[in-house]
Each structure stands twice: as structure tokens, then as C-alpha cells.
Amino acid sequence: MSVALQCKGVSKHFDGVKAVSNVSFDVQQGALHTVIGPNGAGKTTLFNCITSEYAPTSGEVLFEGNRISGRRPHELPGFGVSRSFQRTSIFANLTVAQNVWLSAFRQFAGNKIEIVRSADSHPEVAETITRTLEEVGLARYADAPAIELAHGDQRLLDFAIALAPKPRLLLLDEPTAGLSRSDTQRVMHLIEGLKGRYTIVLIEHKMDVVMRISDRITVMYFGEVLAEGTTDEIRANPRVREAYLGRRA
Amino acid sequence: MSLGVENVNAYYGNFHVLQGVSLLVEQGTIHVLLGRNGAGKTTTLRTIFGLMDKWTGSISLDGVQIGGKQPHLITRAGLAYVPEYRGVFSGLSVRENLAVGEYPNSPWPIERVLELFPPLKNLLGRMGGHLSGGEQQMLAIGRALMSGPKFLLLDEPSQGLAPVIVDIVVDTLVRLKNEKIGILLVEQNAEIALEIADSASIIEQGEIVHRGTALETRNNPQIMSTYLAVG
């Protein structure tokens, strides 16, 4: 197995505040690597550096050998990178299929002339939409307005939007936040089904989810890496228990 | 003293969301309202706090009707609300956020709130939008306490928080209960909520389908698996 993603000494400072300091880790191709840490530890800032929402103050991020940090966010899908956000980010008044269309179209819009074609004249996009909605279990809602989906289904639509451009690296920021136990299990099963086919970096607070599906875990604390290891190593680490896992570990 | 909710119905347009919901929260106790996403938990809290336009039923605090009153009058009557996602004013400092919730002669002046949440002491000048999720949750609860409530409505206080911060929030709720504040808690994390609650209700598609003590709810595997997907 080869290294797919490399974070090399990534730092991000805001007006002297060191949100992320010298973070390094590798993610193997097809592995699921989870980043955990207390609120404010810098996890989402790190995600934003990986996806070029922020340019790192120093350090760099490589995916498949290409530097993906310090670019413009819309360039990332071209490198095979896709992400979901902490809060569900969908177009509520579009249909479920239209939400995915916007994302799926990206991979086929190779030149500007494509944009002036009718939305219906892209059979390859329609096929991608169908396949993606089937993957996340929303095919039967394709023509329903997204706003009518239940909360858990809206989160699955978020996944479909991230999957439609056929990424090779998937970054998931707290995908189960705000979900009930049953919806959390649906999302967890979906992620388990994606494992191996995608390289996945996950931020997640629900430890039952993290410990079940992660291959490796990086623990961040005050912007730095406190520990990295397998689930068993992290669970047994007394510094991690004190800083993050708390008394229920 | 108690917070009473009797036969409450609420509507979004023509959609009948709450269907005859009744709850009772005694002073100095925690009542947890559990249920799936979309079951009506947040709508119940919003209705109690005067944020729903279309509703029927009775909502009383210590026997006095508060249903239908505006939120600031409900707060003055002794009920405070900590919404999901906290509602912290991102462009105001921590001190200013706390001041927004302040009522004259409150038993919870800022000094006492800061004693409850020591991490906020060093953050008074920081903008609310620059706080971590855990700090925002402390601020949201602290701001609610500044009005000196007898009852608190709390919507998903553990959401998005690190386990170690959840421990702090849980300890805080137990302390507030011991301070004789009644708490109506909405929480996805059923195991943790039932550890600290005295009583529990489960809501399903807008109807209360179970009422009981927290202990008997936790010890009923059929209820835990059927409605809460636990076990």
C-alpha cells in the first residue's frame, strides 16, 4: 500500500494565534484516517489547509505526489479531492438529483462550451447521479425537493454531493454531528462501505464510530499532534485519555 | 414549583408537528426528552419558549400560564432557553454575550457564571465567533443563567463536543440541578442523558410514546432499541 496523502509540517497562524502547528502525518491509499481532538484543537483548520480553504503559514500538503495546499479551493476536485462540511450544505429548494447534478457536472465540464449545453443533454452526468444516489441510498428521492428530506437523509445527500465528482480523497468533517443514534448508524455503515475504495480523512467526536471504522488516528491538542496510532494505541494512551477521551474512555 | 406542558399541538403551516404533547418538569430535576431526528424535540422547546406562531394547548410555570407570551416575558417569568448550535453572537465579545442575558438582581451575576465556567475568565474579551465549540456551549449556558432562571430548556448541549468537554457539560447540569434549577433536556446521546436525568419522555412523530423514570427507561431494552436504536 502506498502513501496517498502527506501533511508535511503544516502550520496555520491567525494574527499570532497558532491554530495549527507543525502537523505531519501520512495516510495510506484506501485507508481511513481519523483526526480527533478537543474543540478548538485545530482539526477543522487543518482540514481547511488540506482543501486550500486556507493557505498554510508554513508546510505543505501532497496528494498522490501533487501539492494541493496553497491552491484555490475550486481547483481541488481536479486533483481528486472532495469534502463535506460540519453543517449540511445543500441547496434546499433544488431536487435531490439537481443537488448532485451541480457536483457531478464538474468532472465533465472540461471546457467552457459545455456550460451552454442544456442540462438534460448530459447523459454521462445523469448516469453519475443515478449511480451516486444509489450508493448513498437516496435513489427513490431523486425528484423530491431536498428540503423535504429528513435530517439524516440530508446528510446522506451531502455525501452524494461529495462523491459525485468521483474523488479519490474524501474529507469528512463531523458527518454524524446532530444525527440520532439510528441515523448515525446509517452514516457509519455508508462510510464503512466506502472504505478501501477511497482514501478517507475523517473528523469525528463520536468515539464508538471512530473506534469502529478508523485504521489510524491522529490526536490534535492545542494545534499540535499529541499522538498518532491505531485505535488500540490511542485508546490506551493516558495523555489522550486525559486531554480528550475523558472518563468514559 | 414545576414547568407544565399539557396537550400541546404545534404546526408548521398545515403540517401538524406536535400532537398532544404533555410534559412535567419539577424544580431541581432533569427531564430528558429523547427521540429520533425530526420527531419534534426542538419544536417542543421552541413552542414552550414562545417561538412557534401556530400552536394550541397549555404551558405553565408554577401554575401561571406562559404559553403565548413573547420570549423575553417568558425569560422574565423564570425560563431560559439554550438553543441547538448555541446562538452565540459571533461579533460580540464573551463579556458582551453574557451581558445580553443579564437581568437585574439575578442570583447568577457574571462572577458566579465565571466561577461555574473558569475557562471563560480568560476569554472575556474574545469574540464569540472565535471560541471553540466547548467554549461556546459554556457561554450559551452561562448567558442563559445570567437571567436567573428557575427552569432551563437545553437543546443538544453535547452536540459536536469532545468527550472530555461533554463530561464538563454533564457535571454542570448536575450542579444546576442541585442548585434547584429544573431542566428540560433534549439530547441525542441517550446513554449520557439517562445517566443524569430523573425522568424521561420519548417523542415519536410528534407524539409522546413513553414516559417514565430515567432508570426504568434505561433498563427497558425494548424501549431503548425500538425508539433510540440503543442496544
Q: Would you say B161 and B169 are in contact if contact means Cβ atoms under 8 Å apart?
A: yes
- pLDDT tens-digit profile, chain B (231 residues): 999 999 999 999 888 999 999 999 999 999 999 998 889 999 999 999 999 999 999 999 999 999 989 999 999 999 999 998 888 998 999 999 999 999 988 999 999 999 999 999 999 999 998 888 889 999 999 999 999 999 999 999 988 888 888 999 999 999 999 999 999 999 988 889 999 999 999 999 999 999 999 999 999 888 888 777 776
- Decide if A247 and B167 are in contact by the 8 Å CB cutoff: yes
- Cβ neighbors of A65 (< 8 A, separation 6 or more) are none
Question: Looking at the predicted complex, does its ipTM rise above 0.85?
Answer: no
Q: Which residues of A fall within a CB distance of 8 Å from B190? A: 181
CA B226 – CA B192 distance, rounded (Å): 18
With an 8 Å Cβ cutoff, are B160 and A207 in contact?
no
CB B203 within 8 A of CB B35: yes
Q: State whether A207 and B163 contact (CB < 8 Å).
A: yes
Which residue range forms the structural domain that includes residue B52? 1-78+151-159+181-231
**Residue B155 located in a structural domain:** yes
Contact across the interface for B163 and A249, Cβ inside 8 Å: yes
3-state secondary structure string across A190-238: HHHHHECCEEEEEECCCHHHHHHHCCEEEEEECCEEEEEECHHHHHHCH
| Residue A83, helix vs strand vs coil | strand
Is B33 among the domain residues? yes
Cell of B63: 401554575
A245–chain B nearest CA distance, Å: 5
Residue B90 lies in a domain: no
Residue spans of beta strands (DSSP E) within A51-113? 58-63, 66-67, 81-84
* Contact residues on chain B for A150, CB-CB shorter than 8 A: 37-38
Question: Nearest C-alpha of chain A: how many angstroms from B38?
Answer: 7
Closest CA of chain A from B146, distance in Å = 24
CA distance A198 to A29: 8
> Which chain A residue lies closest to B156 (C-alpha atoms)?
A178
pTM across the whole model:
0.81
Chain B residues with CB under 8 Å of A205 CB are 160-163
DSSP letter at A68 equals -
pLDDT mean across residues, chain A: 89
A-chain CB neighbours of B38 within 8 Å are 150-151
Q: Are A82 and A167 in contact (CB under 8 A)?
A: yes
What CATH number does domain A1-80+167-249 carry, 2.60.120.620, 2.60.40.10, 3.30.479.10, 3.40.50.300?
A: 3.40.50.300
User: pLDDT tens across A65-93, in order?
Assistant: 999 999 998 889 889 999 987 777 889 88
Q: Into how many domains does chain B fold?
A: 1
The CATH number assigned to the domain holding B208 equals: 3.40.50.300
Minimum Cα–Cα distance from B171: chain A residue: A247
